[in-house]
Each structure stands twice: as structure tokens, then as C-alpha cells.
Amino acid sequence: MGRIFETRKATMFARWNKMAKVFTRITKDIVIAVKAGGPDPTSNSALRRAIQNARAANMPKNNVESAIKRASGQDQADYQIVLYEGYAPHGVGVLVETATDNIVRTVANVRFPFTKLGGSMATSGGVSRMFKRMGAIRLDPEGLDLETLELELIDHGLQEMGETTGEKGEKQLLLRCEFGDFGKLQAAIEAKGLSPLSAESEYIPLEGTLKELPEEQAHEVLKLVDMLEQDEDVQHVFHNLA
């Protein structure tokens, strides 16, 4: 167990401090989870993950309950998960995960930052082949026996475990698994009475695909990432900038 690798974060930008954007993203996760697996979190692991993320973001409980109720009704719009691929300046690969009820609007909104900031959209598979989709669960490491935890979770799909930091520099423990083992690992962590800080799928750059850039060029890439993340249809942006 060591310090786990993560691609560079755009800490120079105030990306996720806009609470309304965070709540919108989580609300869509809740709706998608309910539509796919029902409104009962005890039998819907995706919904449990969304609720955990809502708690971590200090989303009011009544907002969560309202989103579940709306998603269970007939009038709630269906969101479609669409993954867009592109290149930021200097050849950095970018994946843009969206949740949309209007693909025409979303593709135009995603294309605009690439065009404006010197990037380009790519055909399906051109960029995603450089990434691997994995489940990622973050825990507060305080009071945990990390070696014992690692050994106990290996049988439940754990592939990587290491130290990382949150947006505010706080220590976190990051656990990764194959995406197909996400629910199994989540259940094993919950059985230990642990409450994740977050639990989401992530696209991780494959070994040998990372790009290192000088700070000025990296800033141009992260400016594009930031602009993409401000769009309401965008759930996550992943890249292979080291």
C-alpha cells in the first residue's frame, strides 16, 4: 500500500466549490440509479453510492428524498449517459462523461470549449482506448488499520489502495477495483461499518499513455477541463495529463 497515482488536478481553478453544480450532478446520478434499479437503496448499490456522495457534499436530506421521489414518477426526464472524446491542447486525451436529456444541446456544449481553447473532438474509441474504467471509493483513513483492510478487501475485488488527498488537501484513502466488482467492493466496505467519502466510476489512464507538460502548457489543458466541468450536462471530465 502506497501513494496511489492520480492525474493532475486543476486546483488552480474553483471547479467544485459551486454547490449548485455539485447538487445537479448528484441529483442526476440519483435519477439514473432509480430509473435503472428502483428507489430502494438497500437493493440498489448505484443509488447507495449516489446517496453517499450526496452526504459527502452536504446535500440536504430533503433534496435527496425529493430526487428519489421524482425519479420514481412518470414525469421525470430520462437521462442518457453519453461519453464524448477529444484532445486538449498539446495532445492530451480527454473523456467527457455527460448525463443528458437532449443530446443535440449537449454535444454542442461539449464541442464549444474544445473549439474555443485549441482542442478538438475525436471519434469514438480514439481516446477511450487509452483509459480503463474502474470503481473508485474514497475513505477517511483516520483510525483504520490499512494493512488489515487491504488484505480483507482483496477477496472482494480490491486492486489498488493508496493515499491521496481531497480538494481541500485533506488525507484520503483511495480504493480502486474493476468496474464489474464495484458493487461487491462497496458491499464489503459497508459490511465493515465504514461510510465512504465518495464512490464513483473513473476512467484511469493506462500505463504509458500519460503526458507530462510544462506548467504553462498544463495550465492551458486544465483551463479546458475547467470550462467543460462547468456545463450542467457534464458529470465528470477525465484526462491523461500527468
Neighbouring CB atoms inside 10 A of 57's CB total 15
> What is the reported pTM?
0.91
Q: What is the pLDDT of residues 126-138, one digit of tens each?
A: 999 999 999 999 9
- Looking at per-residue pLDDT, the higher value among 196 and 6 belongs to 196
| Stretch 210-233: mean pLDDT | 95
Question: Could you give the CA distance from residue 167 to residue 38 in angstroms, rounded to a whole number?
Answer: 32
Entry field: residues in the chain: 242
pLDDT at residue number 12? 43
What pLDDT does 21 receive?
A: 85
User: How is 44-98 classified by DSSP, letter by letter?
Assistant: -HHHHHHHHHHHHTT--HHHHHHHHHHHHSSSSPPPEEEEEEEE-GGG-EEEEEE
How confident is the model at residue 1, as a pLDDT? 53
Report pLDDT for 80. Answer: 94
In the prediction, which pLDDT does 3 show?
A: 52
Please tell me the predicted confidence (pLDDT) of residue 128: 98
| pLDDT for 6 beyond 80 | no
DSSP letter, residue 129 = G
The CA distance from 95 to 110, in Å, is 11
Per-residue model confidence as pLDDT tens digits over 141-180: 999 999 999 999 999 999 999 999 887 889 999 999 999 9
pLDDT higher at 210 or 5: 210
- Asked whether the predicted pLDDT for residue 108 surpasses 80, the reply is yes
pLDDT at residue 14, rounded to an integer: 46
Residue 19 belongs to what H/E stretch? helix 19-37
Q: Which of 20, 2, 9 is nearest to 169 (CA)?
A: 9
The neighbour count for residue 157, using CB atoms within 10 Å, is 21
Q: Coil, strand or helix: which one is 38?
A: coil
The whole-angstrom separation of Cα 53 and Cα 195 is 10
Tally Cβ neighbours within 10 Å of residue 130: 17
- Sorting pLDDT into bands at 50, 70 and 90, what band is 4? low
Asked if 141 contacts 196 with a C-beta cutoff of 8 angstroms, the reply is no
Higher pLDDT among residues 227 and 15, named by residue: 227
Q: Which pLDDT band, with edges at 50, 70 and 90, does 76 fall under?
A: confident
Q: Are 127 and 93 in contact (CB under 8 A)?
A: yes
Q: Return the amino acid letter for 110.
A: V
Query: What's the pLDDT band for 18 if we cut at 50, 70, 90?
Result: low
